[in-house]
A and B are shown apart, each in its own frame.
Chain A
């Protein structure tokens, strides 16, 4: 298949669906980002995409996106150039010219921000990202895991404030400072990270995830159009596994350190009659157990879809009685290395007793 070179208006609906699926229950809603991309295209701007393997060695690539609370993101929507101002602040700080942008998190809202910012800046966006899914914290991306230092990082809000985080002790501290700043900004702002060299990005990025999101979305759209089973269509395409279809019979969510933490209990139906599933969540879906036994866990992707429409369900819209399909999609090898598992494996989320047992990768 031809590599993706440009994103057009007619791709945005599919991208929205695909990005939400890769959000594994979190990541924020990409709907507003989709509308904003559409507005940029209406102004005659273009979303140009550079395939990961064509990125020159010395290209300067910036990972940027929105930061804040998803619920604020749908209420206090952006002024519009927050990311662009954060990017310009970095250029000024370092006296460089940035060549391309990349998403740190393809799952959810931050799939769209780099695209629309790239359109504003007239530079391409790289087909790849730093998570291949969604994670709750910034240091949980492959840039940090594989040795990139995120500082200096520049933050911008809608009121014109610019904050540069010049140096921190470690990557976790960048997240802490940024999180504290964004609260002052009204829980919505933009952040752009220290530029990366092209050769590093080629090594560290989860490859071709814009293409993946687009294809996932198109699969769901095709299933709707042709009255196929959307769940089956997604699995056929992505090499995933249907874990269970069932009904939510218990739902517990509470707050812990600012994150939505909880469990979903599912009673199986159809082929899964008599089985009980349980999903643990921390903003995203983390662990799936069948009858008490762990079957899939982070960093592999646990996706919850509406059993009928195949559309993804995020943790905040889970409801008792919902009929869902639980899918597992394999994570990329870059998320499965020992150094990655230290940051994004089950132990990093408070499950030291769980061993990550990778599910078979796509095509195997």
Chain B
């Protein structure tokens, strides 16, 4: 049986066909505004290349940086209502207080704080007020907002109030999408709420995107199940991604790192993935991305769901360049490089133009870039090299001369040495993300507080593991293949009843 991995980047859409450990075919097509055409083009290419029997494809795995890019570029975000259940607590810092202004404006900076929320031990801070929530829902309706994020204090311990608040508001807003913070983040209300609001602002885009993927697969005659990859290198169903688009955040870097490891055989390295819009730098430890130990910024917003430790900079193959004064990015022409880039007859100078102008790559027409003069081009390239070096140095974990794995469609921008580190460009490097997607597994995760009164630590861990395993099986994992990926228990200081927070994740192979 074959697996197809697809990666939709800001600029290119890649596809690979793998069988076991062998890559049978790889193809690359431009990402299109409708997403679908690009997916269809690259799928057609790999299917034609291999003369694949479509009935023998067991699954298609799609990785997409679509949602991350939407946040980073502040595009396609829907106006969102944030409702925090907390009063009288937690009013000193309103929702979105620590967001950069531009993205806060983009999602509307619309919020309410209402009665509700729990204490750490499950007592109510105050009861839900149905009239208050109905009034808020009416105001949301009047503003024409269709996506609502609900966040209650201590919802990771008890999510009842978030659910009840959703039911109350849904009576007034039957068409609205609700995102509950307890389903996304961990303890730490600001970061979890941030993640929930961001998720809510992406729901409309996720409906469109998932629908487009389904139509794309159908149109090339693939009838197998398809999955979207999430940021731990595992897979989610399409229903799931429509509800939780933020879980795709950083799935691109995860896929590219796992793919780069698979392709190069290197287990410890720095991976630099240059896409069309951004460059992601991560560290591979034993073939897996090093996880971020603390909160993670997405487009300048702090969030706290589990992610790989990735440092992103706004530098890609389609990044716009101003020459006077020199300014690289942060905007990118993305997939419109084929219309707007100088090398394709457009009038926007991009990083790829610079690479082509310096003879580092041979695509399109180098003449318009060359017209800038070698001195200017060299100056710009030096600035680009410095941006890459800074990012690599930031992620480097030791003075050891571990290799830099250069992947992604824009990796022609990476010099042969980054500082003192040698650069390896693995075979199929341009489609590492798609390979990483194709090798995705199914996971199950638990993150909540257990009381150790009448329960030993080992019993609590076993209970958590059982819960995670059941989740993984329900999501489509082969029971006998399930193993523990990661487990962590943190005792909570100053709390009675020996409360401990257990985070645990299992992974298994996709059944079929």
| Contact status of A72 and B89, CB under 8 A, knowing A183-B496, A255-B491, A317-B294 | no
Provide the residues of chain B in CB contact with A319, threshold 8 Å: 293, 488
B187 contacts chain A at the CB level, 8 A cutoff: yes
Name A's interface SS. Answer: loop
Q: Is the CB of A69 within 8 A of B495?
A: yes
In the complex, chain A residues whose CB is within 8 Å of the CB of B398: 269, 323
Residues 271-312 of A contacting B (Cβ, < 8 Å): 283, 307-309
User: Given A39-B97, A253-B490, A283-B493, does the pair A71, B187 have CB atoms closer than 8 Å?
Assistant: yes
- Knowing A74-B187, A186-B125 are in contact, say whether A258-B496 is a contact too (CB < 8 A): yes
Given A74-B188, A79-B89, A260-B493, are A317 and B397 also a contact pair (CB < 8 Å)? Answer: no
Q: Answer yes or no: B492 CB below 8 A from chain A CBs.
A: yes
Does chain A have a CB within 8 A of B402? Answer: no
Residue pair A187, B190 in contact (C-beta under 8 Å): no
Does A267 reach chain B (CB closer than 8 Å)?
no
Contact B92 A79, beta carbon cutoff 8 Å: yes
Residues of A within 8 A of B492 (CB): 69, 71, 255, 260
B92–A39 CB distance below 8 A: yes
B119 CB-CB contact with A under 8 Å: yes
A75 touches B93 (CB 8 A): no
> Which one of B119, B189, B285, B491 contacts A260 once the chains associate, using CB atoms below 8 Å?
B491
What are the residues of chain B within 8 A of A260 when measuring CB–CB? 490-493
> Which interface class (under 10, 10 to 19, 20 to 34, 35 or more) fits B?
35 or more
- Of the candidates B91, B188, B397, the one whose C-beta lies within 8 Å of that of A75 is B188
Partner of B93, one of A36, A68, A179: A36
Task: Count chain A CB atoms within 10 A of each CB in B121, B293, B393, B491 and give the residue with the most.
Answer: B491
Nearest chain A residue, comparing its CB with the CB of B97:
A35
- In the bound complex, residues from chain A placing their C-beta under 8 Å from that of B154 are 75-76
Count, chain A residues at interface, CB 8 A: 44
Select one of B119, B396, B452, B498 contacting A187, CB under 8 A. Answer: B119
On chain A, the residues within 8 Å of B119 by CB distance are: 76, 186-187
Q: Are A322 and B293 in contact (CB under 8 A)?
A: yes
**Counting CB contacts under 8 A, is A169 at the interface?**
no
Q: CB distance A254 to B491 under 8 Å?
A: yes
Question: Is A352's beta carbon under 8 Å from chain B?
Answer: no
Which chain A residues border B10 with CB–CB below 8 Å? none
Q: Which of A32, A77, A187, A323 contacts B120 (CB 8 A)?
A: A187
Indicate whether A75 sits within 8 Å of B496 (C-beta atoms), given known contacts A36-B92, A36-B93: no
Which one of B89, B294, B494 lies within 8 Å of A258 (CB-CB)? B494
Instruction: State the CA gap A309–B394 with chains docked (Å).
Output: 8
Most chain B C-beta atoms within 10 Å of own C-beta, residue among A35, A75, A313: A75
The reply to whether B93 and A32 form a contact with Cβ atoms under 8 Å apart is: yes
CB of B88 within 8 A of chain A? yes
Within B468-495, the residues touching A (CB, 8 Å) are 488, 490-495
Q: In the complex, what distance in Å separates the CA atom of A253 from the CA atom of B500?
A: 11
9 shortest interchain CB distances as A-B pairs: A80-B92, A69-B494, A186-B119, A255-B491, A158-B89, A77-B90, A260-B493, A74-B188, A76-B153
Q: Apart from A71-B495, A187-B119, what are 9 other A-B pairs with CB-CB below 8 Å? A: A35-B190, A69-B494, A72-B495, A75-B187, A77-B89, A79-B92, A158-B89, A260-B490, A260-B492
Q: 6 A-B residue contacts at CB 8 Å?
A: A75-B153, A75-B188, A79-B92, A159-B88, A183-B496, A255-B492
